[in-house]
Each structure stands twice: as structure tokens, then as C-alpha cells.
Structure 1
Amino acid sequence: MQRILPRGEIESLDHTTIPRLRQPVRASVFADRAARLRQLAPNHPLSTYLLLMADLADGQGKALKHSHMPGPGSERIDLAQAHGMPPLQATGWERDPGWRDLLAGLLEHMSGLTNLPPQALEIAQALKQRLNDDPAAIEAQADALLAEREEDVDAATAPFIMAALQVYWTGLAADFQESALPVVTPHGVCPLCGSLPVASIVHVGGQADACRYLCCSLCSAEWHLVRVTCSHCENTKQIAYHAIEGGPEGIKAESCDHCHTYRKIFYQEKVLGVDAIADDLASLTLDMLMGDAGYSRASGNPLLWQHAQVES
């Protein structure tokens, strides 16, 4: 049985022995997510959407096998190290046009599914046509997604475009040499791509045992953050944990009364196959309860945008 460390003992740990970064594994990151989504789908109110995202994750896994985009040059790495900034920063990265080929492949994959809901098929086909006719509009939509400008995001097409961007940056993150990472990067964002975390996971086993890692919404990397610390503002004194009485084990909302935000935290000791993006999608009831309690979500799920239409 795993022992739960009290606050003082957590803070006194030798954090130099804890891996700072967990890079995505090309062969399994999206396959694991697809499997978890399918595990969560039965009897779930959002079953149709979870299965749709599982099919999309299948396509992401296939695309990632063949995605080898140019990484950062030495000049960009030197600049990131000099200023303590993420070397693959999404909002300042000049994307290789090949990412649109990834999107085209994902749309082809989805359109070829025999069980795809009619509405999703219509969206995929329309997006594919727009990709051919107006690639500049697709680039603009990608910019809005990466900058999280919700007012400029088309919620219906966002999951497909975001899925292609995830493949692009996950490939970059998987290939990046950790030794080139700046020693210090800004709090609260991915040290590789600068994106916000979707949630955090407390791992079991190995050097990361009992350690909490924030999970990037874009490049699938994870980075260590001491537990009982607000992932948004770094406060350590007004942290509380909330769970649904009688709800699924292994999930809580970590709230901060200093900044009045929250993010979910998942515990591998309760659910070994937990995936931050998949399990976050499947736990929207907890989001509603946290909203009712007066807390704002610190960042969203990359596969579900405001006003998105989902089937149940």
C-alpha cells in the first residue's frame, strides 16, 4: 500500500532526484489515450463523444508514426536557454506547413470510419474542403487555438485541428534532447512548448513514485510540480481538494483560494491507466460542481471547446 506523504514531508523531499520532465513515448501516447477513452465510454452520458475522440486518437497514433517535422535549430535553443523560455513555444513557433498534411490525414481517417456519427462526418468533410480551398483560414484557426482565444475558435472543428497540432508538437517533444532544456522556465506552463496543463497525475512506480506531474494539453509532455501547490499561482497555503461523494476513485479537483481557480488531479494508485485528457473529458460533472462552488477552471481541455456540440 502506498503511504500518503504529509505536507511537510513532501516539501522536504530531495527534488533533485525526481525527473523534471517526462517526454511522450511515440509508440504509445495516443494508443493509450484511445484505450482509456474506450474504457470510460460504456454507460457514460458522453459515450458517443468519448468514442469519437477515441477514433480520433487512433488516427493521431497512426499519424505520429510518420511525423518527423524539423525541430528547433541551435539559435532558437540558445535563445530559449538565455531567456529561460520553452524552446518549442507554440505561440511563437513558425509551424512547418506539413502539419496541414497531418490534419488532412486525420480527416481522411475519420471520414473512412463506418461508425462515424453523421454530424461528425459532415464537419470532417467540410473541414477537409476548407483545408484545400483556404489553408490560410485553417492557419488562422490554429493560431487562435494555440493562443486560446476562445472567441475566435470554431468549436465544431476545433477538436480535429487541435488533434493535428497535438501530433505535430508531440513529435517535436518526443524527439527533443532534454539536455538542451533551459534550467528554469516560467511557472505553470509546459517547459517544452509553453502550453497550459490540462490536469495533473500523481504517478506510481520508479523515480516518479508519489510525485505529481502536470500534463501538457498540446505536446503530451509532463513536468514535475511539488504537491499541495497551486499549478496556476504557486500558492501553497490555501489549497483544498474536492471529490464527488460516491463518485469514481482517483480523481479530485485541487482548488486555490488565493486565485480562486482549480485543476483536476488524478491518482495512478487508484486508476493505473489514467490519461489526463481522457479522464478530464469524462469528469465534466466535477467541473460543474466546482463552478457552482465559485471556482474558475485554470485551463480547458484541448478536445472540448466552449459551446462545442456533443452527442450523448
Structure 2
Amino acid sequence: MQRILEPGQIESIDHSALPRIRRPERATLFSTRAARLRELAGASPIGGYIRLMASLADAQQQALLQVSATMPSAESIALAQQHSMPIAPSSTTERDPVWRDVLQRLLDRVEAAGLVTPPLARVIDGLRMKSAQELDALADAVLALRFNEVDPASAPFVMAALQVVWTDIASRIDERAVPYLDTPGTCPVCGALPVASIVRVGGQYQGLRYLQCGLCSTEWHVVRVKCSNCDSTKGIAYHGIDGGSEALKAESCDECHTYRKIGYQEKDYDFEPLADDLASLTLDLLMNEAGYRRSSPNPLLWPEVPSDE
């Protein structure tokens, strides 16, 4: 029997003994995600798209093993610690230009995988034709979640390249240098929003909940039965699909009327936050019908912006 800690138990123990930060596993992060996406594709209403994203995740793994982005300076880290800010902020406009090279490598590998349809070929060609300034403007919009400035078909590829660069940084950072943030629900490494949370099993992580960043894949500890969007502990509820996976729920909050998905490794050890979130579109539809909105989008599934016409 696995022991799962409840909020009161977690709050009563020594927080200095809790592993607050989990750095992304550089050698396996994206390949594990790709394998999970392929496993989930068959039961998803967007199975073809999920298989494409699996191919993209494979390309990300290869790119990650070859990239070495510029790390934050000691001075910038000290400043971030002093002001409780992310130490490698995604909001910066001075990102390492290597991300554009990573993007081209990802596009090459996706094409080589043989899953490119004519519409996707046009998207890829369009990205290749953009200037460095145009790509950087696109990256600015993607990271700032300015949905109306981004083609939904192009956004996942731009985000995938940015994920590789920030995951590289996060995998090499000293977690002891990561400050506590004043803003709840944002990544303490890069300041981006989480995609989902996971209650882990095994060793020092047993029964602890972690939010996973949608950009750098850093995980940070958050107590359970607490809204990961507004920090409220009131009006929290859990929703699933009849006959669906017991490992996946939508955690809703009646204070801010948002939800974010949560997975339980005790019920499915292979749960992967981004992959399982992407493959559970039906749960999103049910939550929307119930009057809740997502706390943040899945990085690899950009929302369509309704036309004003």
C-alpha cells in the first residue's frame, strides 16, 4: 500500500526536508514524453495530432542533447533571489538566439519522420521563410500568451524550440539557487505557467504534489487540495470521466472558476503531465461545459482565437 500524504500532514512536517524543486531529466525527458504520447494516441479524439507531437518530442530530445544555451549570470541570479523573481525569466527579450537554430532542427526531423501533410508542409515552409526578427517576435507572442498574434498551427513548433532551450538551462541550474516566488502558480526557474500537476510515488517524493512547468519542465512542490492558479483552499473539487482513467482528474476551483489537471502516479506510474493533459481533450470539453476555464493552455495545443466577424 502506497502512503499518500494529505495537506495537514504535509504542513506539519519539516519543509526544509522536502525536495522543493525537481529538475528536468535531461537524458530522458522528451523521449519519455514521446513514448507516453504514442501510448495515449489511440484512445484520443486527436490521435493523429498526438502522434505528430510525439514525433516532435523525439526531435526535441535529440536537440536537447546537442544544445548548450547561455546560463544566467551570477549577478542576475543574485538579483532574482533578492527580489524573489525567476532566475531565467521567459519574459526576457534577450533570449539566446540558439533557439532559432533549434527550431530549424526540429522542423527537419519532423519532416524526416514522414508525418507531414500538405497543410503542415505549408506551416513548416512559412516558419523557415521568416526572418530572425519575425521569429523573435513570434517567440515573444508565444511566451506572453498573446493568442491573437500567433498562428495556432505554428505555435507548437515555436514553443517546442523554446522548451528545448529553457529545459537545457533548467537541467543545469543549481536548485539551491532557485528562489521562492511571491507569485503563486508560476515556475520559480522561468516564470512560465504550469501545464498540470502530478502526485508522485517513491522515495523522498512519496505522496507529494508537483506542478510541472510548461516551458522548462521544472517541477516545484505545492501542497495538495489547493488551487494552483489562485492559491485558494476553498471550493476545490475533482472531476473525471466515467469509465476513464482513475489516474487523471481535473482539479477545479470555485474561487477563480478555473481548473488544471492532476495525475496520480499511484494509479498510473507512467503519467506524464504534458502528454496526459494533451491527450485528454474530452475532459477539457466537459470542464468547459461545466463553466470552468483552463488555468493555462497546453504548450503544444494552441487555442483558436474567435474571429470578430
Indicate whether the TM-score tops 0.5.
yes
Partner of 1:193: 190
Question: Which amino acid in the other structure matches residue 282 of structure 1?
Answer: A
Would the alpha carbon gap of residues 28 and 235 (structure 1) be closer, same or farther in structure 2, given more than 3 Å must change? Answer: same
**Cα RMSD between the aligned structures?**
1.5
- Residue 259, structure 1, aligned to residue 222, structure 2: no
Partner of 2:269: 272
1:81-230 alignment, distance < 5 Å: 81-92=81-92, 94-130=94-130, 134-230=131-227
CA displacement, residues 140-174 of structure 1 (integer Å, 9 cap, x when unaligned): 11000101111112111001111000001000101
Would the alpha carbon gap of residues 77 and 4 (structure 1) be closer, same or farther in structure 2, given more than 3 Å must change? Answer: closer
Question: Which amino acid in the other structure matches residue 18 of structure 1?
Answer: L
Partner of 1:20: 20
- Residue 295, structure 1, aligned to residue 284, structure 2: no
CA displacement, residues 257-289 of structure 1 (integer Å, 9 cap, x when unaligned): 111111110011111111111100111111111
- Residue 62, structure 1, aligned to residue 62, structure 2: yes
Would the alpha carbon gap of residues 21 and 7 (structure 1) be closer, same or farther in structure 2, given more than 3 Å must change? Answer: closer
How far residue 6 of structure 1 moved from its aligned partner, in angstroms, is 4.5
Please, which runs of 5 or more residues in structure 1 have no aligned partner?
Answer: none
Aligned length: 305
Distance 2:54 2:81 in 1: 37
How far residue 307 of structure 1 moved from its aligned partner, in angstroms, is 1.9
CA displacement, residues 99-119 of structure 1 (integer Å, 9 cap, x when unaligned): 100011111111222233332
Distance 1:122 1:263 in 2: 33
Please, which runs of 5 or more residues in structure 2 have no aligned partner?
Answer: none
Would the alpha carbon gap of residues 295 and 208 (structure 1) be closer, same or farther in structure 2, given more than 3 Å must change? Answer: same
Asked if the contact 2:199–2:209 (Cα under 8 Å) also holds between the matched residues in 1, the reply is: yes
Partner of 2:2: 2
Asked if the contact 1:253–1:262 (Cα under 8 Å) also holds between the matched residues in 2, the reply is: yes
Asked if the contact 2:93–2:140 (Cα under 8 Å) also holds between the matched residues in 1, the reply is: no
1:236-247 alignment, distance < 5 Å: 236-247=233-244
How far residue 62 of structure 1 moved from its aligned partner, in angstroms, is 0.3
Would the alpha carbon gap of residues 7 and 70 (structure 1) be closer, same or farther in structure 2, given more than 3 Å must change? Answer: closer
How far residue 184 of structure 1 moved from its aligned partner, in angstroms, is 4.3
Identity %: 54
Distance 1:33 1:78 in 2: 33
Asked if the contact 1:266–1:276 (Cα under 8 Å) also holds between the matched residues in 2, the reply is: yes
Give the alignment's TM-score, normalised by structure 1: 0.94
How far residue 9 of structure 1 moved from its aligned partner, in angstroms, is 2.9
Give the alignment's TM-score, normalised by structure 2: 0.95
Asked if the contact 1:217–1:301 (Cα under 8 Å) also holds between the matched residues in 2, the reply is: yes
How far residue 92 of structure 1 moved from its aligned partner, in angstroms, is 2.1
Q: Secondary structure at the match of 2:268?
A: coil
Would the alpha carbon gap of residues 158 and 184 (structure 1) be closer, same or farther in structure 2, given more than 3 Å must change? Answer: closer
1:71-82 alignment, distance < 5 Å: 71-82=71-82
Q: Secondary structure at the match of 2:140?
A: helix
Distance 1:281 1:28 in 2: 19
CA displacement, residues 191-214 of structure 1 (integer Å, 9 cap, x when unaligned): 000000011000000111110000
Question: Which amino acid in the other structure matches residue 145 of structure 2?
Answer: E
Distance 1:159 1:5 in 2: 36
Question: Which amino acid in the other structure matches residue 88 of structure 1?
Answer: A
Q: Secondary structure at the match of 1:90?
A: coil
How far residue 228 of structure 1 moved from its aligned partner, in angstroms, is 0.6
Partner of 1:49: 49
Would the alpha carbon gap of residues 3 and 209 (structure 1) be closer, same or farther in structure 2, given more than 3 Å must change? Answer: closer
How far residue 256 of structure 1 moved from its aligned partner, in angstroms, is 0.9
